[in-house]
């Protein structure tokens, strides 16, 4: 029988769950202007390869297109997604103020 060798899954710094408040580095609207920076969102789906984050404000792809459903997908080990600061300080899950 042939043996297969598999790579280890990437080590993630954070374990995200649906409902977590997170901060994401992305292009978004702030006060009517398009800016690139950290923005708060809510994790709406998690699997072993991707984390989906939904926002209340418009977000954009890097090539300039607005995302109609305001959901961006990130690998869980990406440096562009992190737990929200309020969540870490309070130690509990709550909806962030946008």
**Which pTM does this prediction carry?**
0.72
Say yes or no to pLDDT of 13 above 80: no
Q: Where are the beta strands (DSSP E) in 1-98?
A: 21-30, 33-46, 51-54, 59-60, 71-74, 81-83
For range 78-91, the mean pLDDT: 72
The answer to whether position 93 is within a domain reads: no
Q: Please name the residue that has the structure tokens 């997908």.
A: 73
For range 54-83, the mean pLDDT: 91
Q: What domain count does the chain have?
A: 1
pLDDT at 88: 47
For range 85-89, the mean pLDDT: 54
The answer to whether position 81 is within a domain reads: yes
User: DSSP H helical segments within the chain, as ranges?
Assistant: 85-90
Among 76, 74, 96, smallest CA distance to 85 is for 96
Over residues 24-58, the pLDDT tens digits come to: 999 999 888 899 999 999 999 999 889 999 999 99
The whole domain housing 43 covers 21-86
């Amino acid at each position: 029988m042939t043996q297969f060798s598999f790579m280890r899954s990437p080590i993630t710094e954070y374990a995200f769950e649906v409902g977590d408040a997170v901060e994401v580095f992305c292009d978004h609207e702030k006060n009517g202007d398009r800016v690139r920076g950290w923005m708060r969102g809510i994790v709406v789906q998690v699997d072993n390869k991707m984390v989906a984050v939904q926002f209340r404000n418009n977000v954009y792809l890097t090539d300039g297109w607005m995302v109609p459903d305001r959901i961006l997908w990130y690998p869980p080990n990406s440096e562009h997604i992190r737990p929200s600061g309020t969540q870490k300080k309070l130690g509990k899950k709550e909806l962030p103020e946008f």
